[in-house]
Chain A
Amino acid sequence: MRIGVVTFPGSLDDSSALRAIRVAGGTPVPLFHASDDLREVEAVVLPGGFSYGDYLRCGAISRFAPIMSSIIIAAEHGFPVLGICNGFQILCESHLLPGALTRNEGLHFVCTDQPLIIENVSTPWTSGYTKGDRLVIPIKNGEGSFQASAQTLAELESEGRVVLRYADKNPNGSKNNIAGITNTRGNVVGVMPHPEQAIESLTGPSIDGLKFFTSVLQSLVGR
């Protein structure tokens, strides 16, 4: 099962994401920002980092990369897309997800093992979890504060589109403690925490992130 990971200039966590796909049992496929070729992958991960230096706004320039035009069209047809951290910012700038990620409250770059609650288990990326599962996954960002209009927040809540919520403590001023959301169709998911860095006990605080990758492999098999 071929899962792609896009490398933008300034991506940092692309190799971790490729590795997580391999550990989960999939075939990781590197994709490049300057090509519009999705190389026959069946799902794609937009990794963390500082694409294009995060100049202008996080994700604002990446949105116009050639690979993104292919991903946007595919996503509109139900192709599974996971944006992690900078990838989540790119998905918001691409309007595949609503809202925006802004500077953290208190201006701190937050790097910590974050407790989270999983709330939506109907997406291809979260189907292996049970609603209400408590996870510990690293967060590491300076602009992770999820902001959206009151109307958008009400829609996200009433349609059950909040995928992940910060537990115990809101680390960055995100509205409604939102750490991750999905689109109306449920195929596009954006999360600020880094599941690809919680897949092995040797290097992560837990292996709670691995199910993001095993889930998508299972949903692709079951399709």
Chain B
Amino acid sequence: MATIIVEVMLKPEILDPQGQAVASALPRLGFTFAKAVRQGKRFEIEVEGTPTADQLAEIEKAAETLLSNPVIETYVVKVEA
């Protein structure tokens, strides 16, 4: 069984108020390392066996049509054994 990871992030030019809120909370806890924070989403999709090229193409399509909104977001697909 393999897990396909789809990571979705807001495009850099899109305002990310959630990331900003996290960035401003960190120093309040004494964590001073962060210059900026962007928050995204991670999907873990379990499939039987090793994904074929066709299945990966399907996942790419799903990532583009449902899991992300290409108007405001980008996505990356990875496979974990």
Contacts and interface: CB of A to CB of B under 8 A. Distances in A.
Interface of A: 56-57, 60, 64, 92-93, 98-100, 102-107, 145, 147-149, 173
A102 B73 CA distance: 11
B2 interface: no
Given A103-B18, A105-B17, A60 B72 contact: no
B23 interface: no
Nearest to B21: A107
B3 to A, nearest CB: 19
B21 A100 contact: no
A82 B69 CA distance: 21
Contacts of A92: 71
Interface residues of B, number: 13
Contacts, number: 37
A10 to B, nearest CB: 18
A160 B15 CA distance: 25
Contact of B15 (A64, A147, A148, A149): A147
A102 B72 contact: yes
B67 interface: yes
A100 B71 contact: yes
Contacts of A64: 66
A104 B17 contact: yes
Interface of B: 10, 13-18, 21, 66-67, 69, 71-72
Ordered nearest first, which 7 A-B pairs have the shortest CB separation? A100-B72, A100-B71, A107-B17, A103-B17, A147-B14, A105-B17, A100-B69
Nearest to A175: B15
B14 to A, nearest CB: 5
Contacts of B13: 149
Contact of B18 (A98, A107, A148, A173): A107
8 contacts: A57-B69, A92-B71, A98-B71, A100-B71, A102-B14, A147-B72, A149-B13, A173-B17
Contacts of B18: 103, 107
A124 B37 CA distance: 43
Contacts of A149: 13, 71
Given A100-B72, A102-B72, A56 B67 contact: yes
Q: Determine which residue in B10, B18, B69 has the highest number of CB atoms from chain A within 10 A of its CB, and name it.
A: B69
A100 to B, nearest CB: 4
A93 B73 CA distance: 12
Contacts of B10: 102
A137 to B, nearest CB: 24
B67 A148 contact: no
A106 B17 contact: yes
Contacts of B16: 103
A148 B66 CA distance: 19
Contact of B66 (A56, A99, A102, A104): A56
